[in-house]
Amino acid sequence: MDKKKIGIIFGGNSPEYSVSLESSYSVITNINKEKYEIILIGITKNGEWYKYDGDIENIKDDTWHTQEKCTKVILSPNPSDKGLIILEKNEIIKLDAIFPVLHGKNGEDGSVQGLIQLSEIPLIGCDVLSSSLCMDKYLSHKLAESYGINVAKNIVINNKTPKKEIQEKVEKLKMPLFVKPMRAGSSFGITKIESENELGQALEEAFKYDTEVIIEENVDGVEIGCAVLGNDELITGEIDEIELSKGFFNFTEKYTLKTSKIHVPARISKELSDKAKELAKQIYKIHKCKDFARVDMFLKPDGEIYFNEINTIPGFTSHSRYPSMMKKAGIEFDTLLEKLIELEIK
């Protein structure tokens, strides 16, 4: 029986390039090589596409693109090709599915997904619509709110909004506030402010990552997450809980856990856990997510749950939140990867 060829895209022209390298290394290491032939497709920070045939350890330490094992490629948008074009040889490598293990801008926002959809190669993960919608925090919140789901009160400004208008809008919100780039992940550019005096610097930081910024009221409570897997029939992992000793779950805390801890399962009742799982599945469906995603929420002391955001390509190391939640539900990492592949190649 011939092995199915699975293209794994890593890297990317994104602030979250380094995060993708970690996730991709873990995915590549744990995929069943006896069943699948892995075709590695690396995208540099400058957006150059290469087929990579070197040691995967070079992906982990970000020296892969300096190797002689790189060959320039493009993904053919022609459905009849269904594969990668090797530019030097003008040859095509057929692919049975593509798994973009990318994070943030130019990887998780629908751009790469659009190219894959044009090729008609099965795409592991969310499509163009759900990827771009989930990346836009304001539109995602508005959609959820239209279904009666709780979201934090917020406003939106851009880098051309007059200062007076910003001030008038902010005055309608209750401190503390979160200032966030509209379309960024891994908590890049996010600042929590306690007073208007901190707003200017927070906006400056957020505008480094996007031309639009969303400013949200703080939701008192704990942050919880739910891993969702599947399409018609959905499977959820165990709910996790982020315990913070100070501040918020920023980039540093997400990847070092210096002053925070993640509890899987969350330290909540079964009733609240089941409620969160059902809400996560509802949010997943109304955003038209496909294959997998992680739904992040806030649980207030009174038991009310607020929607925060959806990560359509969450962190994918073996110890990341999504695989950890699935592991607690009885799905080991290698099995999880196989389930994701089989969702598409079947």
Q: Just list the catalytic residues.
A: 16, 186, 320
Using the structure block, give the residue that is written with the tokens 């030097």: 88
- Number of C-beta neighbours around residue 278 at 10 A: 14
- CA dist 320 → 29, 36, 134, 270, 326 (Å): 15, 23, 20, 23, 10
- Number of C-beta neighbours around residue 105 at 10 A: 22
Cα angle at 46 between 122 and 90, to 5 degrees? 55
Cβ contact 170:156 at 8 Å: no
Q: What is the DSSP pairing of strand 260-263 with strand 212-217?
A: unpaired
Q: Sign of torsion, CA 170 308 124 314?
A: positive
- CA dist 196 → 12, 151, 152, 191 (Å): 36, 22, 18, 12
Per-residue three-class SS string for 60-110: HCCCHHHCCCEEEEEECCCCCCCEEEECCCCEEEECCEEEECCCCCCCCCC
Cβ contact 289:219 at 8 Å: no
Give SS3 for 233: coil
Each residue of 26-51: b (16+ CB within 10 Å) or e? bbbbbbeeeebebbbbbbeeeeebbb
